[in-house]
Each structure stands twice: as structure tokens, then as C-alpha cells.
Amino acid sequence: MTAKAKAPRSAGKITIEQYRSGICCQEQQKRTLLALGFSKLNQRVERPDNPAIRGMVQAIPHLVRVVAKIEKTDAGKGGGRG
């Protein structure tokens, strides 16, 4: 039996902004925009920071950009008053 390698967990989310229109783009690029969740120009969406989403963003860098990366924190776990 072979053990499956687990994919590394990402540590947060990224905010992506569509800053160019996809009107004159190839059909596959339009589908990538829809898969990311864009429906309007200048729209921002928050997605998990993982290799699949990063690959979609890298496929259409002329249409979207990463605006911010939100790190996951452990602020609410295990803490309590002194």
C-alpha cells in the first residue's frame, strides 16, 4: 500500500480584484473569471489561498490582481483571562 501525500494547508485567504474587462478574451479566460466568482468590473472577492486559486490568478494576470493576503491567526484558541 502506498500512503498518499497530503497537500500543505494554506494559512489564510487572499483578496483578488478584477481590474480589466474579459470581453475580448478567450473563452477559457472568461470561464476562469467566472470560476473565481467575478461578475462585475472592479469587483473584489475573497478566496482561500491555495495552489488551485493561485494557478487561476496566474492564468489571467492581465485581468486580475491580488490586493491583499489575510493571514489566519490563532487569536481565539486556548486563550483566556490571566
Sheet holding 64-71, edge to edge: 44-48, 12-18, 64-71
**pLDDT, tens digit, for every residue of 19-29?**
999 999 999 99
Tell me which DSSP letter residue 10 carries. P
Q: What pLDDT does 11 receive?
A: 67
Whether the full predicted model's pTM is greater than 0.85, yes or no, is: no
Assign domain 17-71 one CATH number from 3.30.1390.20, 3.40.50.150, 3.30.70.260, 3.90.1150.10.
3.30.1390.20
Q: What pLDDT does 30 receive?
A: 97
Count of beta carbons in the 10 Å neighbourhood of residue 78: 6
Distance of CA 20 to the CA centre of its chain: 17
Q: Which amino acid belongs to residue 47?
A: R
Q: What pLDDT does 67 receive?
A: 94
Q: CA 14, 20, 25 angle in degrees (round to 5)?
A: 110
Q: Could you give the dihedral angle defined by the CA atoms of residues 16, 20, 21 and 26, in that order, rounded to the nearest 10 degrees? A: -90
Q: Which residues of the chain have pLDDT under 50?
A: none
